[in-house]
Structure 1
Amino acid sequence: MSDLEIRPAALADIPAIVAMLADDPLGAQRESPDDLTPYTAAFRRLAADPHQHLVVALRAERVVGTLQLTIVPGLSRRGATRSVIEGVRVHADERGSGLGTQLIEWAVAQSRREHCQLVQLTSDATRTDAHRFYERLGFEASHVGFKMVL
């Protein structure tokens, strides 16, 4: 896996990222790869925020994975800073290759560099394979999550 590069996402990476976000049953319902306008606007907001790390994994100069890491300062836990991992996606051709593990390891290492005391993530209740993956990497299912669509 030494041919893998993880770097900050660039505007030119947005089509590949959105394609990966849409490449599963849940993503197919909520993503719109045919209209990149909202994703471009979101990318600009993310790029301007130093607490946001949107990264891509490249193999042979091709985007094969992505994730977003958000650094969240807080008061709870004695003023602990935490990180939140979101939008983890691996291209269909790369699933099972260890790339997902490398992306999560990068996120945990970056969280340590940012002096985070906690790394957290959520995963849709239907993604049981993902739950096993995260547990294998040392994450614990510790909370019940709630959402409200606005």
Structure 2
Amino acid sequence: MREAYPEPIKVATSEDTQAIASLLAQLSSSAPPFAQTDLEAMVADPAITILAARAGGEIVGITTLVVFRVATGVRAFIDDVVVRDAHRGKGLGEKLVRAAIGQAASLGVQKIDLTSRPSREAANRLYQRLGFEQRETNVYRLVLSAKAAVP
């Protein structure tokens, strides 16, 4: 089955929601459940592009590109790069990331960031091969619960 070049998801279908939920489960065991309303919100958000690689019409890989403006310019973040196990090793991850880079460039993005767990060795090699450089930085995260007060 021939894979298609990654294209943006423009309509939130239940089939795509199920496929993305399955892919996210492969990416992270701690990922929250992915629902139809999540895909609808992402598709409707002009800052977000979900790129999907398909085989036989079914999504077999995705990545998310988020573009935003800050005081120092237009930036982007690539997240959730994942390819279904049976389709790995065929260059789909690279096609997804290249498509995200191309989309970002067309939107005037000056810098693209992404993060990847060290255990994802193949992904880290891919990002370096595509020109991403490891930054000398600390990444911080604050997890807010629904009941947490903002400091």
- Taking structure 1 as the reference length, the TM-score comes to 0.83
Native 8 Å contact 1:71 1:82 kept in 2: yes
User: Which ranges in structure 2 are unaligned for 5 or more consecutive residues?
Assistant: 145-151
* Structure 1 runs not aligned, ≥5 long: none
Structure 1 range deviating more: 125-134 or 139-148: 125-134
CA displacement at 1:125 relative to structure 2:
4.0
Verify the 8 A CA contact 2:3 2:53 in the aligned structure 1: no
Question: What is the CA–CA distance in structure 2 between the aligned matches of 1:7 and 1:132, rounded to whole Å?
Answer: 24
Shift of 1:112: 0.7
- Residue from 104, 108, 129 that aligns with 1:111: 104
**2:147: which partner in 1?**
none
**Mapping of residues 1-150 of structure 1, within 5 Å:** 3-9=3-9, 10-12=12-14, 13-24=16-27, 27-32=28-33, 36=34, 39-76=35-72, 80-142=73-135, 143-150=137-144
| Paired residues of 1:5 and 1:59 also in contact (CA < 8 A) | no
Query: Which 10-residue stretch deviates more, 2-11 or 140-149?
Result: 2-11
Question: How far, CA to CA, are the matches of 2:123 and 2:2 in structure 1?
Answer: 24
Q: How many residues align?
A: 140
Moved more, 63-72 or 126-135: 126-135
Deviation at residue 63 of structure 1 after TM alignment? 1.0
CA distance in 2: counterparts of 1:146 and 1:129, whole angstroms = 24
Deviations 1:54-86 (A, max 9, x none): 12111221211101100111112xxx1011101
C-alpha distance in 1, partners of 2:42/2:76?
Answer: 15
The CA RMSD measured in Å over matched residues stands at 1.9
**97-106 or 126-135, larger mean C-alpha shift:** 126-135
| Structure 2 length-normalised TM | 0.83
